[in-house]
Amino acid sequence: MFVIWQISYFVIFNEPAGSLRPVDAVASVGFVAWGGALLMLVATGGGAFRNRQVREILDDELAQAERGVAYQNAFWAVMVVSLGGYVAGHLTQVPGRTLAHVSLSAGVIVAATTIAWLSRRGR
């Protein structure tokens, strides 16, 4: 769903406008909230909404190691996007808002995908 919403961002919500419309502000706040929620779920292993005993069980060494790998992969994804934006900035005009959106999206997608892949591989 997150990837589908990213596609809709570039097709529907990324139209150049003279001023910030309320719908643009709502879409941006929604994106930040959704991205933040996904990062929180990655950071807590989904245990933020469970009691302390369940969180302790879910937060074992393997889960911590998998989150570490997810953070590392997300970091490198953001770095690659930033480098691509830097190079593209020398060849064409790259809006800062678009580069920030793509960077954050890449980090969230790579972190969530890494957690899902490592969890599936361990079973």
Q: What is the pLDDT of residues 59-84, one digit of tens each?
A: 778 888 888 999 999 999 999 999 99
Nearest 5°: the CA angle 99, 105, 108 is 145
User: pLDDT by residue (tens digit) across 81-93?
Assistant: 999 999 999 999 9
Q: Identify which of 36, 32, 34, 111 has the alpha carbon closest to the alpha carbon of residue 74.
A: 111
What CA–CA distance (Å, rounded) separates 39 from 70? 10
Tokens of 96: 């800062």
**pLDDT-based confidence at residue 119 (cuts at 50, 70, 90):** confident
Model-wide pTM > 0.75? no
